[in-house]
Chains A and B, each alone.
Chain A
């Protein structure tokens, strides 16, 4: 049963903002309602969506992951080097980068847990490592011409009305479903919430905080590697500077989606809407044509401010009946 409380209100607010924005856009440009635009909205933001899935886990656990953009950049260049340089099959390369990403994330989680260092600074170090390694592989953009790549990028699901849902959009939706199931319907997901609610209490309750922390960052880096694969398919090339600053977009999507940055409150569905809201603003600016790109940044900053203020208010009002102290 769904009750409107401090937990569901941010999600409802996000959904309301999305519907309102879409309605405003559709009134101004009726073409926004076409399935073509909807398909592109999902396809163009697929990499951001996948990053947001991982970031939701991290933020719910009370942490932050600044390394995802760099891991994504490293993945695109590593794929290009493996496929074009070493002649590996794309599927083999995909497996290697996904496993590599998972191990890298587990390393981050282990460092955060055992060094007792703030996630912020550990993931910052990881960001430098991944970006530096990516630049050492190659500073040039390398095109990927493997025919399997052409096949994969051509795959798409036709929507009624002439729209297309590319393979990468489907991958993103799949990532959201898988992430949502892991987070909301398994014991591991519950532990992530417990860790984010209060790490000390979680430890006292007998939750293995080391394992949960490692899981959370492992998921985040694996998702970053998947986002790299998606971006590589999207652009059919690899470039070390791909995704600079994209971690901020992912964090913004999660926050706009109603997940509290202090951890423990939020969910997967909101993050998808958060990504779509960002994509919608971009699409609207493209449709308008006269607005400049900097309005995107200002609009996202304002949305962040509004949502964080809203969360603050909700917490304040729910405090007497909720947790104390």
Chain B
């Protein structure tokens, strides 16, 4: 756990800065109030709004660790939301709708995984197909309209409260814990990293590389379906055009800010979630300050540029020297 905190140090500083900025623009930001058994406050708001991107980032981090990318998550969100809305409208109970949406996510992930693993198409291209076609499929399901529904059970995915916390926060948290345990309490995490470092070496070392590769895309599809359910429940309708639009980019950014290497072989679920929270914190801060939301794009660009410069091999020696000097001073 101390190792995690060492790795998370720079991101925690970033998060603290974002929270500080939020406090400066909205003085009551850190207050928590309990109203009707539900907590309200700035931090809860950030977690709640950020839940879909957190989920996407949880699915995206292992994919990127295998040197892959999943561009289709936004489109999968739209399909899953459309499937859920269409099935409650067809008279099914809400648990059936939720299962149908999750099943759709699994199927989409399987499609991506098979293209990448068995047909050996580059991940960016393989997932591009579903990214382009997926939104069309979602529009076909909703017949091009915003498919609204009145089922309170399905809407509860976004609005229900448990233990004082909004359900989306709990879903994201549970997904993070389950995924974290899966990859760190078992050998799955090192397997994923081995495939990302060198697929050939991993195969020779006995890692079931094809299974791992398909698995990470299936997991990403599942997480996208969960995010899609939350997005649809939030507006009580499936909007095939806008649900999850460009969220794949937010998810990739969250993972990159979380320090997962884009060159594969190293990833952290917890840090990726932290990245998603930082992104949402920035967004909330700009909104609360009354600044034009367009600034957010520029700020995000600056943050990634910074991360890229720090991560770049050209800067690594300088950074290593700096940290070495700092640690020496720390222990002395």
Contacts and interface: CB of A to CB of B under 8 A. Distances in A.
Interface stretch (A19-27, A111-119, A182-190, A202-210): A111-119
Interface residues of A, number: 42
A131 interface: yes
A293 B144 CA distance: 9
A292 B125 CA distance: 26
A120 interface: yes
Contact of A309 (B119, B132, B252, B305): B119
Contacts of A64: 124
Given A116-B312, A120-B69, A121-B308, A298 B128 contact: no
Contacts of A301: 129-130, 132-134, 136
Interface in B282-325: 292, 294-298, 300-301, 304-305, 308-309, 311-314
B286 to A, nearest CB: 11
Contact of A297 (B136, B263, B301): B136
Contacts of A133: 298
Contacts of B69: 120
A296 B137 CA distance: 10
Contacts of B131: 248
A86 interface: no
A262 B120 CA distance: 12
B305 A125 contact: yes
Contact of A116 (B130, B297, B313): B313
A74 to B, nearest CB: 11
A139 interface: yes
A132 interface: yes
A129 B277 CA distance: 21
Contacts of B292: 135-136, 139
Interface string A245-280: 000100110010000011000000000000000000
A121 B312 contact: no
Contact of B308 (A117, A297, A300): A117
A243 to B, nearest CB: 14
B300 A128 contact: yes
Nearest to B144: A292
A115 B308 contact: yes
A298 B133 contact: yes
Interface string B156-175: 00000000000000000000
Interface string B250-275: 00100010000011000000000000
A132 B297 contact: yes
Interface in A39-53: none
Contacts of B135: 294, 297
A308 interface: yes
A135 B136 contact: no
A122 B240 CA distance: 29
A312 B121 contact: yes
A129 B132 CA distance: 23
Interface in A307-325: 308-309, 312
B136 A295 contact: yes
Contacts of B119: 309, 312
A251 to B, nearest CB: 7
Given A120-B69, A121-B252, A298-B136, A305 B301 contact: no
B298 A300 contact: no
A9 interface: no
Q: Which of A118, A297, A309 has the most CB of B within 10 A?
A: A297
Given A122-B308, A294-B135, A312-B120, 14 more contacts: A114-B314, A116-B313, A117-B262, A121-B256, A121-B304, A125-B304, A128-B297, A136-B298, A262-B122, A294-B240, A297-B133, A298-B136, A298-B137, A301-B136
| Smallest CB-CB A-B distances: 7 pairs | A301-B133, A297-B136, A132-B297, A135-B294, A294-B139, A132-B298, A128-B301
28 contacts: A115-B308, A116-B312, A116-B314, A117-B308, A124-B249, A124-B304, A125-B305, A125-B308, A128-B297, A131-B297, A132-B296, A132-B301, A135-B292, A136-B295, A139-B292, A252-B128, A255-B125, A292-B140, A297-B136, A297-B139, A298-B136, A298-B140, A301-B130, A301-B134, A304-B133, A308-B125, A308-B126, A308-B129
